[in-house]
């Protein structure tokens, strides 16, 4: 199964999932091109894991389409699964098996399993083959999960909060292996996390997911250059007259209006300063963590406003 020309390795169209009244994923649209690493950032409950579980066929899809390697993959075929490496947040590897038995079992299921690579990774991660999975620590189990995901040379690596709960040293080993896998093999990677620094380190492209939607997407540099925070001191007793539509988050404390804006430009800055009769104004560069926090806070305040509107009606 080869990737059709121009097709994305992963593409979703209007992907929707509901749990009762809760909309876990709301008409998601996105694609990942071959060789790209997409970092999926989002707070807890944003819908990242549901999205990834739908990609893996572990959770049913209410509506929408999933295409993996250019083929329909609402329930991924055996051939597609052979090309995907998946590392979940919580590993449910057979506890009664030893590491050797797990790798022996899994090796017979994958067409491209590389025993030498599996052994190299075992040595690198200092895992003893005779150890039972039940006796492994959380970090060791995560490492075993990564070995299983990498040793069959997948074309697409899907990582769902893989470093969650790991100590800094294991986290470092983990990220290094992912980076190495990306650099040496040119794999496409979808890396979900709420650790901004992990995503910043690994990802080419970042998508921020809030309340079941992709709020924003771009490269780290692109996001840094286009999203800025402006602090404007307003005249006494005045509120902002002009609020541009590309506001991601705003906060007013006495006379100080702090606004985070997408698609920042000097012209927009001047417009805000002039039309709001600003006493003083400053522009701040943001790092990815600040951008993430402001996008999340902004989306949450939008929902609160919508709820208040509903309540008042």
Partner 1 sequence: MIWALIRKDARLLRNYLRSAVVVTGCSYLVTAIVIHRESLPDASTPWGTAMTLLVLALGSNLGFLATAFMAALMAGSVFTLERSDRSAEFLACLPPTRKQNLVSKLSVVLVPVGLMIFVHILTNITAHQVSAYVPAGSYLRNRLVFATGILTYVSIIIATLGGALAVSALLKSNGVPVLCGLFSPFFVLGVVLILGYVLDIPAEGNAFANRYATNAFVIGGAFAAMGCYWYLTRNST
Binding site for partner 1 (CB under 8 A): 56-60, 77-78, 81-82, 86, 88, 90-97, 105-106, 108-111
Smallest gap from Cβ 142 to partner 1, in A, equals 13
**CB contact at 8 A, 96 and 132:** yes
Smallest gap from Cβ 39 to partner 1, in A, equals 21
Full DSSP string of 145-166 = HHHHHHTT--SEEEEESTTTT-
Residue 158 or 196 with smaller CB distance to partner 1: 158
**CB contact at 8 A, 221 and 287:** no
Smallest gap from Cβ 286 to partner 1, in A, equals 37
Smallest gap from Cβ 50 to partner 1, in A, equals 12
Smallest gap from Cβ 182 to partner 1, in A, equals 20
Smallest gap from Cβ 233 to partner 1, in A, equals 54
Residue 96 or 184 with smaller CB distance to partner 1: 96
Phi and psi for 15 in degrees, rounded to 5?
Answer: -75, 120
| C-alpha gyration radius of the chain | 23
Strands 37-41 and 205-210: what pairing? parallel
Cα 211 from Cα 196, distance rounded (Å)? 18
Cα 16 from Cα 103, distance rounded (Å)? 35
Residue 60 or 270 with smaller CB distance to partner 1: 60
Q: In what order do the strands lie in the sheet with 63-68?
A: 22-32, 10-19, 63-68, 71-72
Cα 217 from Cα 147, distance rounded (Å)? 30
Residue 73 or 234 with smaller CB distance to partner 1: 73
Residue 109 or 283 with smaller CB distance to partner 1: 109
Residue 111 or 287 with smaller CB distance to partner 1: 111
């Amino acid at each position: 199964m080869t990737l059709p020309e121009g097709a994305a390795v992963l593409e979703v169209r209007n992907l929707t999932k509901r749990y009762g009244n809760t909309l876990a994923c709301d008409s998601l649209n996105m694609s990942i091109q071959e060789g790209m690493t997409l970092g999926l950032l989002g707070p807890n409950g944003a819908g990242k894991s549901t999205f990834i579980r739908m990609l893996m066929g572990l959770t049913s899809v209410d509506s929408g389409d999933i295409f993996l390697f250019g083929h329909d993959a609402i329930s991924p075929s055996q051939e597609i699964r052979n090309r995907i490496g998946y590392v979940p947040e919580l590993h449910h590897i057979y506890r009664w098996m030893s590491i050797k038995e797990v790798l022996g079992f899994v090796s017979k299921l994958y067409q491209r399993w590389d025993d030498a690579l599996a052994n190299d990774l075992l040595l690198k991660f200092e895992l003893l083959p005779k150890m039972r999975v039940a006796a492994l620590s959380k970090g060791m189990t995560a490492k075993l999960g990564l070995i299983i995901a990498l040793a069959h040379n997948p074309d697409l690596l899907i990582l769902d909060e893989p470093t969650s709960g790991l100590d800094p040293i294991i986290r470092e080993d983990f990220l290094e292996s992912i980076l190495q896998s990306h650099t040496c093999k040119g794999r496409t990677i979808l890396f979900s996390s709420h650790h901004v620094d992990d995503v910043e380190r690994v990802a080419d492209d970042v998508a921020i997911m809030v309340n079941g939607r992709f709020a924003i997407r771009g490269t780290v540099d692109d996001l840094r250059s286009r999203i800025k925070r402006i602090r404007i001191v307003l005249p006494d007793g005045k509120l902002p007259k002009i609020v541009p539509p590309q506001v991601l988050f705003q906060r007013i404390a006495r006379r100080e209006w702090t606004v985070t804006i997408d698609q920042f430009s000097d012209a927009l800055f001047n417009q805000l300063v002039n039309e709001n009769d600003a006493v003083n104004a400053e522009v701040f560069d943001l790092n990815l963590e600040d951008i993430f926090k402001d996008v999340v806070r902004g989306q949450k305040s939008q929902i609160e406003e919508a709820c208040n509107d509903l309540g008042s009606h």
